[in-house]
Each structure stands twice: as structure tokens, then as C-alpha cells.
Amino acid sequence: MTTATASKSNGRKRAPARKQDAQATKEPTAAIEHPTATVLIIGAGFAGLGAAIRLQQQGVRDIVILERAEEVGGTWRDNQYPGAACDIPSNLYSFSFAQNPDWSRSFSGSREILAYIQGMVKQFNLRQYIRFGKNVSDMAWDDQSGTWKATTDAGEVFSGRTAVMAQGPLSNASFPAISGLEDYQGHKIHSARWDHDYDFKGKKVAVIGTGASAIQIIPELVKEARHLTVFQRTPAWVMPRPDFETPDWNKSLFRKLPMSQSALRKALYLIHESMALAVIWNSPLTRLAERIGRWHLRTQVKDRWLRRQLMPDYRIGCKRILVSNDYYPALQQPNCKLITWPIDRLSAQGVRTVEGVEHQFDCIVFATGFDVSNAGTPFPVRGLEGRLLGETWQRGAQAYKSINVAGYPNLFFTFGPNSGPGHNSALVYMESQIDYIVQSVRAIQSLGLKALDVREQVQADYNRDIQQRLAKTNWNSGCKSWYLTKDGFNATMYPGFATQYANQMKELVLKDYRLIKAD
């Protein structure tokens, strides 16, 4: 999280944002050292909590979860903007080991997802593991003791024989690099740090960005604001959203017969798997998906000029595909205007576009995404011989099976490099990462290991294959997106079916690792 955006979230106080590296290296003279846990988890979002549940189920209970905020929920705690919802059906965007028969809609809103996460914490009694308000500012492997040491910005030191990085890939809200950002005197809101106290009624409001967050915010803001101006840099492919309320009979069926919900989950999984053929690779199904996208635009937007402005000129799937039934209608409301002139700069009053027009606003909403460009961690991570992960990943993040990095023993990433799905639920991928972590922790315990460290060559071979496969995907077909670094390196997405990903995570192959016995 950037310091600029850390102050407010849903009216709750948040832990202070990370400090600079200099702080991270301060002398731990007055440090409070906590006892060493078996597993140290960073982040109490879906991944961290899911890992704790599965570890607990396997008898590993010596767990500490460090959470920088005062509440669980990660991205679903932070993203509470109006209209925030998941664009994957809830029956699939939930854990298979914690199904919820009571989802109110096919695509639930963020509050309901947050309530689901809080419900899991209660159901599995996870609060005992969580230390709130612990903002990690440095992580270091201590080879002598064979432990990871996480230092918080308050100087506390938590250690673990193993560590799980579950801080989330989209936790650093990003204000765009537009000149004059600091000159603007009106109100600024980032989509991921919503200001619930701001009253939009009667106000002239701008939204910068037309990505996944923006297209959910715009239909809600247009109902409130006196005038809404949307600044689009690149139009997105927008598909219809099959969203409907769950009837009561359906909920009681799921409650009485959990197998029926598992069957629906499986069906949804397979439908999404088939979408890989359109989204990931350029195939006849890609053409079909583009036709559906064009049809959706044509049926919802009658004005030819507006249609031209909204028509993407890149292959579908290259950037994230959006789903919405109310975004195009919102843009056509009398109090809404789409601007496609590039932004030149922000002025004290508003936004100046390159043709020299100044647009004045009471408030600018930045739906401009997250800082994932360096694919690093939000704090320094030091491995064997003090090597820094930021330097190891200087030319793009790489890991073995997205989960381990050579030279960083006993460290496990969730949502690590090249684990991103473009077509299926992120939680499906996450479940297989979690099970891999549980296997690894159990192996470290049962084999009496000090360190489990992936072999460099194994990691290099894995990544050569991943990058060769990525070169043939739609993500690498020429558009710009947050999936790619500014040099065009894709350290984000997994170039295959979710089933392929899950299969490779099924077994911990010990010969792929250096195994160092405890003394």
C-alpha cells in the first residue's frame, strides 16, 4: 500500500503504511521478540486465512498471522466502493472446503464476500492466530536458527520456521503518473480506498479509468452525482453479466443437500475452464467471444460515434475482460459524458486534456488500478546470504510453480509469479497453492529439515517453459496491461488451464529441492 493511500478505508483506522527500507534495517535494540511459530503468515485475506484453515485441519496449529489492518478480508475489506462485486460467480469464488449455501446472488457484492470471510474466521476459530495492526516492514531468513524473522514498523519481531506470503497482489492502490497530481485542489478518492463520508449529491465528478473497478463504480455514481465525466484511455471488452438473485428454494436445497452445491460448483468450474480456449489462446472461440462483445455493445449503445469510442482495437483477452449489464447504459445517461482525449495534466480545478480543454470537478475518482509493475513485495525480503528479493526479481518476478524462489528457503508465495488466471476463479488456484504449502510444511516437520530450498536449475527450467508458453497467449499479443511490466515481461499470468495448474501443484517433488537437515 502506498503511504498516500493508507489513511482511510471504510471509515476504519488502518495500520500505517510501510516505511522506507532504511526503517526496515533499523537496529532491533528495543525489539520485542515473539516465540517462533511453525508457520508465519503475512496477511489475513482469503489466502492467509485459507492457509490457516487447511494447516489447522492437518494438525498444524502453531500459526501466527500478521495483519496490518484492524480487520480481516484483504482486498474485500479495502474495495468497498459503490457497486463493488465479484465478476466470478460466488459459488466458484469461495472455498470448496467452506461453501456458503446462502449467497444472495450469482455474483455477490463485496460486503457479502467480506461477511463470508468473517464467517470463516468464526467458523474455524481463526482469530486466535491473528495479530492485528502488525505492519511488516522487513522479512529476513536467519540461516543460523533456520527461521524467518518479520519485523514490524513498530519494531516487533515475529519468527516462523516457515513463512507464507499472503499479502495479496493487488494491495497497493496506485495513483497514476499524471503530471499535476498534487496541484489538484478538489477531493481525490482512489477506488480501493473509498471515502464513505464524501457526499456526491450535486457534485461534478470525474472518474479516471475504465477497468474492472471503474465499470462497477460508474453506474452507481451516475445516480448520485450532478454530472459525471469518464476519462477513458483504452476501451475494454465488456461482456453481458448473467447476474440474478438466488431464489430461497435454491438456498434451502444447498443447505439440505450440499452435494447439489458442489455439483453446481463443478459445472461452473468446467464452463470457466472452457473459456480458456477463448481468453488465453487465439482460437475460433476468441472470434466468437469478440462477436458476443460487439453484439453487447451494439444492443446497448445506439449512438454510432459512442460505439466507435467504446470499441476495443485489440484482441479480446489481451487485457482483462469485463462483465457488466449497466456500464454502457450508465454512460448514456444525460448527466454522463465519456472523454477519450488523452489527459495532459491535472490542474488546481480539474483535468486538462491534450487538446487544451480544462474540465473542472469537485471530486476526481481514480479507478486507476494497483501497483504491480515490479511484482515485488511491499517490504524488503532477504533470503540466504542477505540477498534481496527486489534485486532477485529486478528483471521480472520468477518462482517455481509460482510458490518458491531459490535462495529463499521455507518461504511460500500465494498469488506468486505466473499464477494469475484470466478465465477461472482465483480461489481455485489458491486452493492448490494452499494444499502445496500444507504438504511442504508437513514435509519439513516430518523430515526434520531446517530448510527446503528449490534448486535454481529446476526453477529456471520451469520458467523457460512458462515464458515459451506465454509467448503464444493473448496476453502477450501486443496490448498494454497490468499483467506486463513496462518491458513487456509477463510475470503475472499462468498460461494454461486451471486444471493443469492444479495438477502440477498436487505433488511436492522433493528432488526439486535442496533439503537441509536441522542440526
What are the residues binding ligand N01 (CB under 6 A)? 85-87, 170, 176, 178, 191, 208-214, 231, 233-234, 320, 343, 367-370, 480, 482
Q: Looking at residue 513, what DSSP letter applies?
A: E
Q: How far is the CB of 233 from ligand N01 (least distance, A)?
A: 3
Question: CB 253 → ligand N01: shortest distance, Å?
Answer: 26
- CA dist 53 and 296 (Å) reads 41
DSSP string, 378-405: SS-EE-GGG-BHHHHTTT----BTTTB-
* Nearer residue to ligand N01 within complex by CB, 160 or 209: 209
By beta-carbon proximity to ligand N01, the closer residue of 6 and 86 is: 86
Query: What's the closest the beta carbon of residue 497 comes to ligand N01, in angstroms?
Result: 19
Shortest Å distance, C-beta 232 to ligand N01: 7
Looking only at the bridges linking them, the beta strands covering 157-165 and 411-413 are parallel
What residue is closest to ligand N01 based on CB? Answer: 211
CB of residue 6 to ligand N01, shortest distance in Å:
17
Element (H, E) at 38: strand 37-42
Residue 181 vs 443, nearer CB to ligand N01: 181
Quote the CA–CA distance of 193 and 201 in Å, as a whole number: 19
- Taking the C-alpha atoms of residue 318 and residue 105, their distance in angstroms, rounded to an integer, is 28
| Closest separation in Å from C-beta 214 to ligand N01 | 6
Which DSSP symbol is given to 127? Answer: G
Comparison of 317 and 369: residue with beta carbon closer to ligand N01: 369
4: DSSP letter:
G
Q: How far apart are CA 81 and CA 191, in angstroms?
A: 6
Q: Which residues pair with 322 in a beta bridge?
A: 238
Nearer to ligand N01, 49 or 451 (CB): 49
- Cell readout for 501 is 495448474
DSSP characters for 273-325?
A: HHHHHHHTS-SHHHHHHHHHHHHHHHHH---HHHHHHH---S-TTSSPPEE-S
Nearer to ligand N01, 64 or 178 (CB): 178
At 55 the three-state DSSP class reads helix
Three cell numbers, residue 118: 468473517
Nearer Cβ to ligand N01, position 46 or 513?
46
Nearest to 218 by CA among 310, 290, 298, 303: 310
CB of 475 to ligand N01, least distance (A): 12
Q: At what angle do helices 498-505 and 258-279 cross, to 10 degrees?
A: 110
The least distance separating ligand N01 from the CB of residue 221, rounded to whole angstroms, comes to 14
Please give the grid coordinates belonging to residue 448.
526434520
The residue (of 236 and 451) whose beta carbon lies closer to ligand N01 is 236
Shortest distance in whole angstroms from residue 118 CB to ligand N01: 18
Of 429 and 482, which has the nearer Cβ to ligand N01? Answer: 482
- As measured in angstroms, the least distance from the Cβ of 503 to ligand N01 is 24
Cβ closest to ligand N01, residue 335 vs residue 353: 353
Query: Phi then psi for 46, rounded to 5 degrees?
Result: -50, -50
Which residues lie closer than 8 Å to 396 by C-beta, 6 or more apart?
375, 417, 485, 487, 489, 491
- Minimum Å gap between C-beta 313 and ligand N01 is 12
CB neighbour list of residue 471: distance below 8 Å, 6 or more residues apart: none
**Nearest residue (CB) to ligand N01, 140 versus 297:** 297
Within 10 Å of residue 476's Cβ, how many Cβ atoms?
19
Q: How far apart are CA 17 and CA 6, in angstroms?
A: 6
